Amino acid sequence: MSSSRASPFRVWPFGAPPPRAWPSRALPSRLLLSRALPSLARPSRVFAASLLVPFWLLPGSSPPATWLWPVPAPHSVTRSFEAPASPYAAGHRGIDLPERRGAPVFAPAGGVVSFSGVVAGRPVVSISHPGDLVSTVEPVIGVVPVGDRVAAGQRIGLMASGGHCADACLHFGVRLHGQYVSPMLLLGGVPRAVLLPLQASILRETAVVPLKTPS
């Protein structure tokens, strides 16, 4: 659909440097097509993208099928994904799902077990999936050897104790091209494309870890 009026939105590819200066006319900071998200005023936390496209449009990505939950139903999230302001800043790089010790844990999608061992005192299982996606669940005692291929929904381990939650929970994280993304994007729980104005804010539940902007 064409229009004679200039659009206030622009497509800005991930990895490209943002413009040196924003337009002088302020745009509504809470304007988005699908949902309102919190705004952060610090320029260092503004994305280099004004249009968050589905992440499989990034180089080397392809549209993934909706993933499965790694724990049995019913499903609830006790803590959501919180994108950090930088790769080393505080945040919550995954989602927490309440689950009892000894419960089965399943592969969210088909792939190859790339790690099964202990990290920082907690048992961890990671699976490499097509499209340069990696899923990680903890604390989970793996039952599938590293290097074995698993199918979506296949049991890959058992819930252990020692997680970071006050109550027993499974921490489920996903990385795309080495960057943490919200697992809810793949579970179908949030919009996969969100349109933001030029004065964009960090997306706490749907975004990848923000890129650094040039000084």
Q: What is the pTM of this model?
A: 0.62
C-alpha–C-alpha distance, residues 158 and 105, integer Å: 6
Judge whether 215 and 71 are in contact, CB under 8 Å: no
pLDDT score of 61: 52
Per-residue pLDDT of the chain (215 residues; tens, 9 = 90+): 444 444 433 443 444 444 444 343 433 333 332 333 333 333 333 333 323 444 554 555 555 567 999 999 888 899 888 888 777 778 788 999 999 999 999 999 999 999 999 999 999 999 999 989 999 999 999 999 999 999 999 999 999 987 777 778 999 999 999 888 899 989 876 544 433 333 333 333 444 443 333 33
CATH architecture of 95-187: Distorted Sandwich (2.70)
How far apart are the C-alpha atoms of 83 and 141, rounded to whole Å? 27
Note the pLDDT of residue 59: 52
* pLDDT score at 15: 44
Phi-psi region of 59 (alpha: psi -120 to 50; beta: other; left: phi over 0): beta
Which of 21, 23, 42, 3 has the alpha carbon at shortest distance from 197?
A: 23
Q: Which pLDDT belongs to residue 190?
A: 55
Q: Which residues contact 44 (CB under 8 A, 6 or more apart)?
A: 85, 86, 213
What pLDDT is recorded for position 46? 32
Domain ranges of the chain: 95-187
Q: What is the DSSP letter of 59?
A: T
